[in-house]
Structure 1
Amino acid sequence: MAVKKKTDPGLRTPTLSRRGFLGGCAAATAVLVMPSAFAGINRAAERALALHHLHTGERSRVTYWAEGAYLRDGLQEINHLLRDHRTGDQHKMDPQLFDLLYQVQARIGCRGEFHIISGYRSPKTNRMLRNNSGGVAKRSLHMDGKALDIRLSGCDIKQLHRAAKSLKAGGVGLYTQSNFVHVDTGRVRYW
């Protein structure tokens, strides 16, 4: 929190700057609105995910959080793995998305790897998918690095869908015909 000292030499008590006050309020609000499912996540010594991108064949087990902080190298590795497989474009993914996967896996108890059907989508790829099929949003959260289409090995997709919904942490969609679950860190909604 930013502390600004008054310039009057007679006053030595630090006062909170407007920016520091607003930042503190924002942080407090974030804690208050955080879904209860995430309340215990900070107790873990580290957070890791096993990922398998079905279109590129790449697999990785990545520790993305340890000792109270997100790990830059781990996040970069996941960002690379979740790149747009059609264009090769890479985007910074929302780390809360990884926390959501971590919590879903803990809730279900399946220790398999997450199969990635779709991670980041470039605007070009999103336009192409939108033109060729229904149900692709014009401003998809995939383009903002805030959405994934997934399966979890060893877990039924309906069970995966229920677990993701129970977190109340973003959008969750079930696509039974295509055999995947959509998760995102946007507003809470289900389909």
Structure 2
Amino acid sequence: MAIPTLPRSVFSGFRDILSDAKCLAFYNTHTGESLSTTYSRSGQRVPAALQKINHILRDHRTGEIREIDIRLLDLLHRLAREIGCSQPFHVISGYRSKQTNAFLRHWGGGVAANSLHMSGQAIDIRLPDCCLTDLRQAALSLKAGGVGYYPEPDFVHV
């Protein structure tokens, strides 16, 4: 009698649930950098992973790095689980320096003078295998703050 086997990914998922691991994956559309990391295990932050996240979400125009708010990371983790997507978040804009925010505000319009991007509390994202409206609906369903929907430049702001 053959014993059925499960894919390794199933066991990996169980391990994450049991250990309460929080994982995120990012692709920075401006720098081409990718990152997949576990930033929290059993309720404890993983400092090295958080530093890597801060780096990949840095202001790509100035190179300035700021600590990303853990609540934003937790929101992204919940969003990824809600959608059921294993693809990395494509990052259009993570942290923004004051200089970059002023530049975008002057030239792009629609950028808030006191944008939460400047405090590491907002991010503009898309998921390549997820319809933008589905991403927006999933973000709204979490009821965890404002959600911006920008179909023309193709991103959601959380």
TM-score category (smaller protein): 0.7 to 0.9
Higher Rg: 1
**Deviation of the 1:44 alpha carbon:** 5.7
Matched residue type, 2:151 = T
User: Aligned match of 2:69 in 64, 69, 94?
Assistant: 94
| Structural mapping, 1:27-46, within 5 Å | 45-46=20-21
Q: Could you list the per-position Cα deviations for residues 77-133 of structure 1 after superposition, in whole angstroms to 9, with x for gaps in the alignment?
A: 100110000000000110111111111111111111100000000000000000002
In 2, Cα distance between equivalents of 1:65 and 1:107: 18
Match of 1:60 in 2: 35
Match of 2:114 in 1: 139
1:84 aligned to 2:59? yes
In 2, Cα distance between equivalents of 1:172 and 1:43: 31
User: Aligned match of 2:26 in 17, 34, 51?
Assistant: 51
In 2, Cα distance between equivalents of 1:129 and 1:148: 15
- TM (norm. structure 2) is 0.87
Match of 1:23 in 2: none
* Unpaired runs of at least 5, structure 2: 1-16
Change in 2 beyond 3 A, CA 1:59/1:177: same
Change in 2 beyond 3 A, CA 1:144/1:83: same
Match of 1:129 in 2: 104
**Deviation of the 1:70 alpha carbon:** 1.2
**Deviation of the 1:45 alpha carbon:** 2.1
Matched residue type, 1:165 = L
In 1, Cα distance between equivalents of 2:68 and 2:92: 15
In 1, Cα distance between equivalents of 2:144 and 2:50: 20
| Structural mapping, 1:111-190, within 5 Å | 111-183=86-158
Change in 2 beyond 3 A, CA 1:44/1:165: farther
Percentage of identical aligned residues: 51
More relative contact order, 1 or 2 (CA 8 Å, 6+ apart): 2
Matched residue type, 2:147 = V
- TM (norm. structure 1) is 0.72
Paired residues in the alignment total 142
Matched residue type, 2:142 = L
**Deviation of the 1:153 alpha carbon:** 2.4
3-state SS, counterpart of residue 123 of structure 2:
strand
